[in-house]
A and B are shown apart, each in its own frame.
Chain A
């Protein structure tokens, strides 16, 4: 005998359930916002704090935590304390996916939003694996210049903070053409979106490059760097050598030059992601004399410029809440992203929701204050944060001084838009570095 279900009974039961469901759907939504309580906002960050990427960028989560601690000590955000949960992904895509999933899962860390994730490959993998789009998890201030994250169809909840690599290359093109006309230009760039974005930016910027070397991430060994520099040393004059890679690779190239006594052969230009003097000298043991005179693009004030009000305030916070960690561009970047986060949370209002946070950045993000010396570019159609650069020259103390003695800021987009001189004036810092926006 096989018992077949009574269709009539099933139909009646189904009808009752359906009616119940209709009643329920008319009630107001009662679901709590994940990661938010009356007293706490839980945020998460997956980024490297170990391995070579950890040496270069490992201070970011600590700097963010320090700033959040400072805000918590000053009342939090509408009375809620911010908790930042950090997971070390070692800059590895598969691990970043696992870590991010762990951060987001309700039965895991259950965070409200992600902030400050680092890396293109890592975050591309993590975004999809952790279903951030489906979960509608705000994905704030990602530390990558990959322009692809601006695609709101693929990354509807993502906001990057760095100017895109394409913007950087375009502005760098203008800078080189205007200041080093006649010198051969060589490019050493990571053979991924980093380099591809850069190469397309140089093309859009109309810069002629005599030699382009693209290397896969983690493959530029000391031996390869020496071989490259030996070859490039044959270029006539004092070639401009542009390095668009991570700080560990910049260090490998500079140390190879030291070894080959080629420090003065080139005019060195480090891309913004790979040019932190403190990390190069302190972390990777590049000689101070080697970086002396090196050019670097930046959208921040110099982290050693104690006269800058943001730098000064962040230094104080760092000293109190991030004890034992030296202040540099990486710490500055982390604190700045934390400050943007606090403003975003405030702008989203007391009734915090994921949708509200995303909407707040779209609508008010361009007005957020921060240490950046270039404009913020957030809007309903733009998810890229800063959109410009200035060029400076490092001295042996690692201070980045405006090239030619005058701060010149240029802005552009990631496409074929013009490169424009900007008269952007950074808004005054809120009192004691504590945002009061709404």
Chain B
């Protein structure tokens, strides 16, 4: 072994040792990233919405509102002429906060940097970033589910969502989720971690005179698992199906009764 060969061997040895050390550190960091979520802030699990939920269109005290109390004139006009067969949901397109309303489970997966919601409904997902990033440009980056960022305030995760694309409906009443829409959610574990309380505040200056509020409750059902739900498989109640002459229950001319 000459001097050059010996030096090279030692160099390779230290490089391998260093790689092993760094790799071990990375693995430990990744594990810490998952296990470091404090128990009171760990929302992981399979959540199923409860009948206790206060749904619909409510004020900040969760009292029900009449359409004239929260809709703009344009909003009222839309809901009075809505055609259910044109509902984006009837074409398997998702939206928030509609997908929070059940009836299908939502699997929450969480680490320090993000909370991921896997919705059984339409098999779509939502990433809520908790790594300190900001929203992207609202013109350049628009989405059905919006862009969500969040931070913790003690035991409550405060989620801020915007960057909607204006193509989704808030509900079957035909009210669009406009590009101006803004959603705030407060997630908090209650009842020994067996229940998740989610307060929802939804604002849309284009169609709403005032914010609407909801208080949703979810039950932990970790004995269930998330199932496949491919909406396009047998979707017969939309305008495309009707144009093909295939049977379904909805007709394009159907309008919701006032």
Do chains A and B interact in one complex? no
Residues in A lying within 8 Å of B, measured CB to CB:
none
Residues in B lying within 8 Å of A, measured CB to CB:
none
